Amino acid sequence: MANTRIPREVSDRQQSERPKQWRPPELLPEPDKQPGFEYRWIRVSLLNSADPRNISSKIREGYEPVRAEEQPKFKLLVDPNSRYPENIEIGGLLLCKIPEEFVKARQDYEAQQTQAQTDAVDNSLMRQSDPRMPLFNERKSTSSFGKGN
């Protein structure tokens, strides 16, 4: 009885792999992350006209432009006619980074603002409530599924 099986060490796994499919290229490539920072593409121009108001507000928020030396894989992608030659600008968008503490502080601030607005709406709603016909303010959502037969 001859053994016609191929040993596992000899068999090539690449033969059984599915062929790779073509995908369109990404419009904005993902930067290599540095620990402690979050990255974001910020608009510096729109329809070939500068947008200094947007970029200046983001810089005041704490964003700082990423230098080209920090992300060497972007050297070939950078626009040669950029207004920010030492930074990474692609298609009117400038790659910027911000410390994670700033992002967390902004999220906390926005959550506090949302809670204050929600409380104000609740207080206004309950002020209009009548004991004979109370208004219900339930902030719970439920999901139900159909009954099986």
Distance CA(97)–CA(42), nearest Å, equals 10
- What burial class does residue 22 get, using C-beta atoms within 10 Å of its C-beta: 0-12 exposed, 13-18 middle, 19+ buried? exposed
| Vertex 144: Cα angle to 140 and 149 (nearest 5) | 160
Choose the weakest-confidence range: 5-14, 71-80, 121-130: 5-14
Tokens of 87: 């930074």
- Say how many CA atoms lie within 13 Å of 77 toward its Cβ: 21
The one-letter amino acid code at 3 reads: N
Q: What's the predicted TM-score (pTM) here?
A: 0.63
For the chain, the average pLDDT equals 81
Yes or no: say if 44 and 54 are a contact pair by the CB < 8 Å rule: yes
Choose the weakest-confidence range: 12-16, 24-28, 57-61: 12-16
Rounded (to 5) percent helix, strand, coil in the chain: 30, 15, 50
